[in-house]
Amino acid sequence: MADYDFDLFVIGGGSGGVRAARMAAQTGARVALAEESRLGGTCVIRGCVPKKLMVFASKGAAQVSDAQKFGWDATIGDFDWGRFHPKLTAELERLEGVYRKLLDGSGVKIYDSRATVDGPHTVKLANNQTVSAKHILIAVGGHPVRPPLENAELGLVSNDVFLLEKLPKSVLIVGGGYIACEFACILRNFGVEVTIYARGAQILKGFDDEARGLLSESMKQCGIDIHMGTSVQEMCPADQAPKGPRPTGSDATMGEPAGERRSLATNDKSITDPRAAGPIWTKATTGVEQVFDHVIFATGRAPSTDGLGLDDVGVKLERNGAIAVDEYSQTNIPSIYAIGDVTDRVALTPVAIREGMAFVDTVFKGTPTPVDHNLIASAVFTQPELGTVGLTEDDAARNGPIEVYSTSFRPMNQAFIDGTSRVLMKLIVCAETRKVLGCHIVAPDAGELIQMVGIAVKMGATKEDFDRTCAVHPTISEELVTMREPVRTT
Ligand code: NDP
């Protein structure tokens, strides 16, 4: 039998890789993990965690405004990014330290280095050292992508937003997905002028249409300027704009005087930090020209497989560069597995963690465990939030006859203070089996609510199971168990 340095070498120290490494080590396996950047990966360092902390921070103004309307003598000033940002940075450092401690405590050998695959059982580190392992687990995640547009490098991506030294006065967010909508709400609530250009007919493609519609209305109501069917056609530094149009939504001379502003030549590929780009002139596909302090591209993410050595070893990739794996996360090279966003199955942190745990069950615990990607609840942390599990109305209707139970209303607290925010509670029910096929909630804390509904739906609850559940009163979510008549049957 070959003598390897380790039983498992994990490449990538994000949520999936760290969990798999720790769990494997707990079985007695000799485990190593390499991370080229910071332990914690996308979720902890440049994704879910800093985003959620920004969501919490961004709610302050609305909370104080509501408090005033309830009778509090409360006032609020501007949001001070300069006070928030160092705390955010410190918290991420703390969490990174926790991850390191957890790995250390489990006996995992950490390499703070890029690692690439050098053979079915060999990994090469940045210093050219090679390490052998019986199994290799690739958990390198993905990265945000900019569209193929001249000067796109002047635009920020999600990673950059968390590193801003000051808040811009105005931003253009390109894209209508999770990241676009979440950043739009956060930044708007911090007081930034936010414009969205999204190329589809409605934001959040793939989510339930009614939920998308209500969320879009809510976002517009809070001052986000949403332009559907629109993309950026041209962009360049404002001081190099082809001609004339001066700032509309923003003061282009904000910050430094124009003459001193760092000028970026349109073809200057040496610019690596778009945070320094200064005001950007944009021309939309609709012909509208506008200047924004920053353009943020939220135009999707791609698996980070470039330069990993996978071609040389013969690991099969999908057409979009994702690593092709079977239901056990095994690649076509039997000793090499892959989990998380690099496989582009369901790009969510808890899914990567489950894939990592299923990998350990399969390879180190002798219990072959396929990953269950069915009925995964998720939330978009907009304001209000969108929580969803199961099929949309359209998708369910394509599969057979359904009943739709839906209600949209102003909740009690909003009615009391003359607020305009509405919520949506929606259930999609199979007309034959009576099973709840989908649930869609637009409401404050919908992420918390959908976690609970997700259990019932995963268990195969029927509409009658919901009906016989007594309401918790007075709550928003009691509507989920009190809707008696379908609004539509198809
Ligand atoms: P999404 O796939 O959700 O959205 C990408 C958006 O960019 C879509 O609106 C898409 O348009 C648009 N787009 C793509 N290419 C172009 C282009 N060339 N020009 C203009 N628009 C373009 O990606 P995100 O980056 O928002 O998020 C990536 C993934 O990260 C999500 O799918 C999700 O899995 C995960 N995530 C999860 C979160 C959560 O759980 N709360 C939060 C953030 C991210 P179109 O719709 O027309 O294709």
The ligand 1 atom nearest the CA atom of 175: 7
Residue 2: predicted pLDDT: 67
In ligand 1, which atom is closest to the CA atom of 347? Answer: 34
The pLDDT, as a whole number, for residue 255 is 30
- Give the nearest ligand 1 atom to 149 CA: 18
Amino acid 278: pLDDT = 87
User: Predicted confidence band at 277 (pLDDT cuts at 50, 70, 90)?
Assistant: confident
Model confidence at 267: pLDDT above 70? no
Position 100 pLDDT exceeds 50: yes
Convert the pLDDT of each residue in 14-33 to its tens digit: 999 999 999 999 999 999 99
Residue 266's pLDDT band, with cuts at 50, 70 and 90, is very low
11 Cβ below 6 A of ligand 1: no
Q: Identify the active-site residue in 135, 227, 440, 473.
A: 473
Q: What are 377-406's pLDDT values in tens digits? A: 999 999 999 999 999 999 999 999 999 999
- The confidence score (pLDDT) of residue 276 equals 87
Residue 133 pLDDT > 90: yes
User: Could you tell me the pTM of the whole model?
Assistant: 0.94
- Which of 248-257, 303-312, 367-376 shows the lowest per-residue confidence on average (mean pLDDT)? 248-257
pLDDT at 269 over 90: no
- The CB of 249 under 6 Å from ligand 1? The reply is no
Residue 246: predicted pLDDT: 47
Please give the distance, rounded to the nearest whole angstrom, from the Cα atom of residue 266 to the centre of ligand 1: 26
Position 260 scores a pLDDT of 32
Give me ligand 1 centre to Cα 390, in Å: 19
Higher pLDDT, 278 or 442: 442
Gap from CA of 220 to ligand 1 centroid (Å): 19
Residue 144 has pLDDT above 60, yes or no: yes
Residue 135 bears catalytic tag: no
**Which domains does the chain carry?**
6-143+303-363 (3.50.50.60), 146-299 (3.50.50.60), 378-489 (3.30.390.30)
Residue nearest to atom 21 of ligand 1 (CA): 175
Is the pLDDT confidence value at 111 over 80? yes
Task: Say if ligand 1 is within 6 A of residue 350 CB.
Answer: no
pLDDT more than 70, % of the chain:
94
Is the Cβ–Cβ distance between 458 and 375 less than 8 Å? yes
On the question of pLDDT at 262 being above 90, the answer is no
Answer whether 198 contacts ligand 1 (Cβ < 6 A).
yes
Residue-wise pLDDT tens digits, 209-223? 999 999 999 999 999
> Mean pLDDT score of the chain, rounded to an integer?
94
Please write the tens of the pLDDT for every residue from 298-324.
Answer: 999 999 999 999 999 999 999 999 999
Ligand 1 pocket check for 386: Cβ under 6 Å = no
**Residue 57 pLDDT:** 98
Q: How far is the CA of 144 from the centre of ligand 1 (A)?
A: 9
Ligand 1 centroid, distance to 429 Cα (angstroms): 28
- Out of 51, 52, 299, 385, mutate this one to test ligand 1's pocket (max ligand atoms within 8 Å of CB): namely 299
Residue 8 CA to residue 103 CA, distance in Å, equals 14
Nearest CA to ligand 1 atom 17: 147
CA of 285 to the centre of ligand 1 (A): 19
pLDDT in tens, 145-177: 999 999 999 999 999 999 999 999 999 999 999
**pLDDT confidence bin for 243, thresholds 50/70/90:** confident
Model confidence band, residue 271 (pLDDT cutoffs 50, 70, 90):
low
Q: Which atom of ligand 1 is nearest to the CA of 148?
A: 18
